[in-house]
Structure 1
Amino acid sequence: MTTQFESLSNEILFNIFEHISLLDFFRIFYSINIRFNNLILDRYQNYSLDFRSLRKKDLYTICHDYLPLIINQIIYLRLSDDDDTPKQSIDFLSYNIKLHQFKTLRSLTFFHIIFDLKMEEFLFHDIHQLSCLTHLKFVDCRIESNYNRHDTKSYNFIDQIWSHEKLIYCYLEHYFILPTVISSSIQYLYIKRGGWEYKNLITLMEKTPNLQYFSTLVTFSTACDSSDEIDKTPPSSMNFSMKELKLIGISSPKLMINTLFRMPNLVHLNIESSFIYFDGNQWKDIIQNNLPKLKIFHLNMTYEYKNLKNKENQVDTILDTYRNSFWIDEHQWFMGCLWDNTKDSSWICLHSLPFSFRNYFEPKSQNNYRTKWINSSSNMKYSYNNIAYLNYNRSLFRKKNFLNMKFSNLQYLDIKLPYDNHLFLTCSKFDNLIVLRLNLSYNYSLFKLQALLDKLSRLITLEFQSWLTTEEIPPFNLTSKSVRRLNLIGRNELKQFHCFNRQQSIKLSKSPLGIQCQVLHIEVNDVLAIPELAFKMFNLRTLHVRYDKDPRNQRPELIDWLQYHLPSTMIVRQRCYGEYIIQPKTY
């Protein structure tokens, strides 16, 4: 007899398939009947392999039982060696999978992976055969050969990427070497690296002539700045494709001006600078002379006062240069200033409205924040939807100019307990919050803390940065369906690290959050607590433990002792003095 579910159309079923993990997908639908097998193996062409948080045994099931059946229908692959899935890339390679087998792969992401020779061979031996690949990301990865500037393999690594004929989007974190070949396809490029010089940026533009979007983290030295002169060479046609530019952390005026001078077709400019100050008249000249097509301008300039007297008068002088027809009438670009009014602080930030950056600033004295804006709508002044990181200060957000600020897309939140109900007005949504950092004071309420956790349906990481020196230790009897990472390396009021003894560690392993914990950071004062945690926390994948009470810390005997007393499936390595990482073995 045909069920109602089986009578659904193929189109509806395909929509359902896209919201189910591959493992559950096969377990639920495979072998129901001939029609479903036909849909799974022949008709459905959009499989995504996202292995984040996947257990080792489930990776085996997918790679051994299901992957061979659908490898030609996979459009997305993500591998990760983070603490949730340690050594996943090594396990994946152990199944003798070759990259060229993914004939329809469009997007490939590597997260927190060290590219040794074997991983490099897996990627670059076959990458040119991935004719459908358009998106490639290396997030928090390290390429070992790239640490030698003269190693030809490091150049080959980047050149292989730039030689790919279909690649449109490329995301690279950490080390980067300029390509020696020209990419005919890359249009969107993110590079997180430091040490940019103007000539290197120009070389990169020349090697990527079709680039439309470029974002980079820029670190700079004054020595480099003094060696670069203002470039008045007419822009090359190779720069004409650039439509959007994002420079983060730039501190060289010459580098910034030279770069903008060569991109006359920019439509969207995002500048986050340190130690650069241009007033509204200077920016007006730069835009009018070099960026005639600019429509969107996001600016965040952090710098220091010339003197510490009459700070508010200086703020008014700054804002007055942005109060003219060019800014307000022609472009409707409005500016605001945020500064620390502490007597000895020289910190000030000029920013565009609405605030368009990920971090809300955190000087030492948040209670002394002051802010002013050029007249604009309340939505512009109080909307902080782009902020991802916030240290919530209840005194600050009760002040007049901060009272109506709204943060609706936070990913990381630091708060001190007890919190007040104004928190829920300031942080209007928690849909994207994944990390919560807590500082506990004397009169906090566990009931209110649990009430807060109940609102955080996507919270992954819970950190206790400080708590009082009592016998009661986190995570108490708190519950959360989503939390799988705990950081319990907190400090007391004397800035001393809290240490868990053996009994407290056993209690932790039996607590609701301890039972479901996959990644744990903790300091112990009894070496016997370490194997207790490893044996009794059944879902634990990575244990970061601090233990510096043993004279054997500098000698291999302690590692040998730990290895002998740990489960046979786990291996220990010393990260540095007194710090150890315990993870499953790779077979």
Structure 2
Amino acid sequence: MKRTKVQYNNLVQNSTSNKKQKFEDQITVINLNKYLFEDLANEILYEIFEYLDPYDIYKGFYNLSKRFQNLTINSNFLTKINISIISKLNFEDYYQNIVIPNQHRIKLLRLTNSFMVDIIFSPPRTILNFDHLEILILDKVQIRYFTKVFRYLIKLPKLHSLTISLIGYNQSLDVIFSNIFHLQKLKYCKIEYEIKHLEDKSVQLYFTHRDFSPIECLIINGRFPFHRFSNLLWHLPQLQHLSINCLVQFDDYVKQEKLPHIELKYLKYVSLQFEFVYFNEFEKIIKEFFYHVQILRLTTHFDEECLNAKRWEELIISHMPYLRIFDINHNDYIENNNFTYHHLINQFNSSFWMKKKWFFTHQHDWAQCLDSGIFYSTEPYRRKDYEFHWEIDEQNCSYKQDVNFNSVQHLSIHSRQITNIYLNYFSNVTQLTIKHYFKTSDDSIITTLNRMIPLVQLTELAIESYNFPFDEIIKLLRFTPNLYVLKLDLLSMKEIKSNFIEQSENFQYVSKINKIKNLIIREGCSLNQIQLIVNLFPQLEYLKTSMNRKEINQIIRYLLSKTNNKTQHLFFLCISKTPKICLKELNILIKSENLLNDYFMKFINRDLYVWW
């Protein structure tokens, strides 16, 4: 499992501490002797390259001189091509000078939008030129293109790792998984897809008895039908690591297919999130497949049996004897009037749990309500995400306890009111989601947040509240100078006088210091709001929002105007919730008024994408 457990981030991570120390020593010598950069030895330059993305190496060094051009071309770093979100012009330059000449050398290839995939793999058989490719990462690929590419992926002799996210709704999961299972050298697979909730019943997923896969690590981010779960496991005899973020039981109960017994003797790690899957059904899966599991991570909802400590104890002793880590997160409402949430969770204080050193705590998600809450594992808390719900005071619940949350990178605040007495500190959070415009006991929202997380280190912020005042958002942005991604609901902007806002000190300051390049707005924007946004975020590269149908042409004309310096960095636009006729109308507008010289445009599931 050495190679399959190595995630992409590990493949491009910085050098070891010894290399770093050596590199720092060399830089010290360089500073003391005041060398010119051009005088540095090739070995030192190659060590510098280790700290840079291949595209940054190309942009920074390729055109400096013939020597640097040769260094760039001949370096091993070009075997790992990680193409982030860049403009069409920059991509095509990189593609011509680096990707095409090195097709036969490339071992890792990551493409971050469907337009890039169209260019590099057009026609699809072009992928055969990448005959040394081992790791392929494709973001936002259409399902129809996915099937065309797969017939050639099968022929790549060294491909062992595939990560793919599909855009558009995909109801035929059997097409996806049958293709993946035909990759007979695949060890690692991560797939993301979306199906319509209202059409869950029509999801098609069938496995044949020939569809055995050598996959050792499988990560599924998408709604997967529970009635096909045992079938999936049966076809993965080498599986070691499994993660599914939405295992769902559809309305129409479908009986699990009866299959011959198979022992998954390599399966050590399982992480599952349930939707309408009940413990009685999941228990059967545990008994049949999880005997060798060492780490079990579950996220469950609204099934009291998941908090039956005695039942878990018997199940673990008899059917998961090797279990080392039991990590559960359960959200529930207790219907029995004779019990509170505490009655159930106190069952997990017996000697069995103490001996295993498995400890738990909880929080309440409704004010003054002791019969609902979230129960989760601690000592330590291992998850990278955490939902903050604490809505109850100490008089009603004295069970609150301090927990070490050093593992948490994404904090989601669901509370409508936060008192300083219950604040935990999340020292390593880089992503923050705010669900409501919450009240604080006596301090400002910013002061309260700064007591919970180091605001200055945030790189991604999502505000999903309809009533979060826009001037409060601007104040918050003043204290988050390292944000790269911002997601907003902007209904609160409707009553704003933009001239008044723009003249404020906070607006002027934020517009100068913020680094936001990626902005997603869930609600529609008017031309005035778009102008306000552009003035506030002059570094913007990617914008996704819906638009007033009558103002689309005006907004596009404004955003693409060649005299508008404030949109000079913008190169990717997604107009959501728009009719398909806009594809034709915008093409005509752009060409007739010469707004762009070179661009791509496509329409997918009511979203219109433009890249230039």
TM-score, normalised via structure 1 length: 0.77
Shift, 1:291, TM fit: 0.6
Give a deviation string over 1:71-129, Cα, whole Å, max 9, x none: 23322211233xxxx62322333488822222332211111110325x533x3233233
The one of 463, 476, 479 equivalent to 1:452 is 479
| Partner of residue 104, structure 1 | 132
Shift, 1:214, TM fit: 0.8
2:490–2:521 contact (8 Å) kept in structure 1: yes
Q: Secondary structure at the match of 1:98?
A: helix
Pair 1:259–1:8, CA change in 2 (3 A): farther
2:517 counterpart letter in structure 1: R
| Partner of residue 13, structure 1 | 45
Shift, 1:466, TM fit: 2.3
**Is 1:542 matched up with 2:587?**
no
The one of 220, 241, 260 equivalent to 1:213 is 241
- Mapped to 1, the partners of 2:532 and 2:326 lie a distance apart of 54
**Is 1:185 matched up with 2:209?**
no
| Partner of residue 333, structure 1 | 358
Instruction: Tell which deviates more after alignment, 188-197 or 517-526.
Output: 517-526
Pair 1:563–1:31, CA change in 2 (3 A): closer
Q: Secondary structure at the match of 2:267?
A: coil
1:26 counterpart letter in structure 2: Y
**Is 1:412 matched up with 2:432?**
yes
RMSD between aligned alpha carbons? Answer: 4.1
| Partner of residue 258, structure 1 | 284
Question: What pairs with 1:166-177 in structure 2 (closer than 5 Å)?
Answer: 166-174=185-193, 177=205
- Mapped to 1, the partners of 2:213 and 2:520 lie a distance apart of 46
1:573–1:581 contact (8 Å) kept in structure 2: yes
Question: What pairs with 1:74-93 in structure 2 (closer than 5 Å)?
Answer: 74-81=106-113, 87-93=115-121
Q: Secondary structure at the match of 2:560?
A: helix
| Partner of residue 449, structure 2 | 423
Shift, 1:228, TM fit: 5.6
**Is 1:305 matched up with 2:334?**
yes
**Is 1:385 matched up with 2:407?**
yes
Shift, 1:58, TM fit: 1.4
Pair 1:6–1:129, CA change in 2 (3 A): farther
2:49–2:77 contact (8 Å) kept in structure 1: no
Q: Secondary structure at the match of 2:101?
A: helix
Q: Secondary structure at the match of 1:191?
A: strand
- Mapped to 2, the partners of 1:125 and 1:234 lie a distance apart of 30
Pair 1:405–1:544, CA change in 2 (3 A): same
- Mapped to 1, the partners of 2:462 and 2:124 lie a distance apart of 40
The one of 485, 498, 505 equivalent to 2:518 is 485
**Is 1:44 matched up with 2:76?**
yes
Shift, 1:540, TM fit: 4.2
Shift, 1:193, TM fit: 4.0
Shift, 1:462, TM fit: 5.8
- Mapped to 2, the partners of 1:546 and 1:270 lie a distance apart of 36
Question: What pairs with 1:285-296 in structure 2 (closer than 5 Å)?
Answer: 285-296=314-325
Pair 1:323–1:271, CA change in 2 (3 A): same
2:601–2:610 contact (8 Å) kept in structure 1: yes
Give a deviation string over 1:374-397, Cα, whole Å, max 9, x none: 797x4xx25263352412758425
1:542 counterpart letter in structure 2: L
- Mapped to 2, the partners of 1:525 and 1:28 lie a distance apart of 42
The one of 93, 115, 118 equivalent to 1:61 is 93
2:558 counterpart letter in structure 1: L
2:290 counterpart letter in structure 1: M
Instruction: Tell which deviates more after alignment, 21-30 or 243-252.
Output: 21-30
Q: Secondary structure at the match of 2:237?
A: coil
Unaligned runs of 5+ in 2: 1-33, 196-203, 439-443, 562-566
1:93 counterpart letter in structure 2: F
Pair 1:420–1:36, CA change in 2 (3 A): closer
Q: Secondary structure at the match of 1:72?
A: coil
1:242–1:265 contact (8 Å) kept in structure 2: yes
- Mapped to 2, the partners of 1:521 and 1:288 lie a distance apart of 52
- Mapped to 1, the partners of 2:529 and 2:134 lie a distance apart of 49
Q: Secondary structure at the match of 2:154?
A: helix
- Mapped to 2, the partners of 1:487 and 1:38 lie a distance apart of 40
| Partner of residue 19, structure 2 | none
1:542–1:583 contact (8 Å) kept in structure 2: yes
1:263 counterpart letter in structure 2: F
1:182–1:207 contact (8 Å) kept in structure 2: yes
The one of 373, 376, 382 equivalent to 1:348 is 373
Shift, 1:54, TM fit: 1.5
Shift, 1:299, TM fit: 0.3
Instruction: Tell which deviates more after alignment, 249-258 or 159-168.
Output: 159-168
Shift, 1:419, TM fit: 2.1
Q: Secondary structure at the match of 2:107?
A: strand
Question: What pairs with 1:269-284 in structure 2 (closer than 5 Å)?
Answer: 269-277=296-304, 278-284=307-313
Pair 1:326–1:234, CA change in 2 (3 A): farther
1:394–1:420 contact (8 Å) kept in structure 2: no
- Mapped to 2, the partners of 1:544 and 1:97 lie a distance apart of 31
More helix by share: 2
1:104 counterpart letter in structure 2: H
Shift, 1:427, TM fit: 1.2
Q: Secondary structure at the match of 1:113?
A: strand
- Mapped to 2, the partners of 1:512 and 1:534 lie a distance apart of 14
1:409 counterpart letter in structure 2: V
2:79–2:106 contact (8 Å) kept in structure 1: yes
- Mapped to 1, the partners of 2:498 and 2:64 lie a distance apart of 52
Shift, 1:188, TM fit: 0.4
**Is 1:71 matched up with 2:71?**
no
Shift, 1:170, TM fit: 0.4
- Mapped to 2, the partners of 1:486 and 1:257 lie a distance apart of 43
| Partner of residue 271, structure 2 | 246
- Mapped to 1, the partners of 2:278 and 2:572 lie a distance apart of 44
Shift, 1:184, TM fit: 5.7
Give a deviation string over 1:187-209, Cα, whole Å, max 9, x none: 100123435345x3333223211
**Is 1:236 matched up with 2:267?**
no
Shift, 1:268, TM fit: 0.2
Pair 1:545–1:106, CA change in 2 (3 A): closer
Paired residue total: 536
2:411–2:429 contact (8 Å) kept in structure 1: no
2:189 counterpart letter in structure 1: C
1:385 counterpart letter in structure 2: S
TM-score, normalised via structure 2 length: 0.74
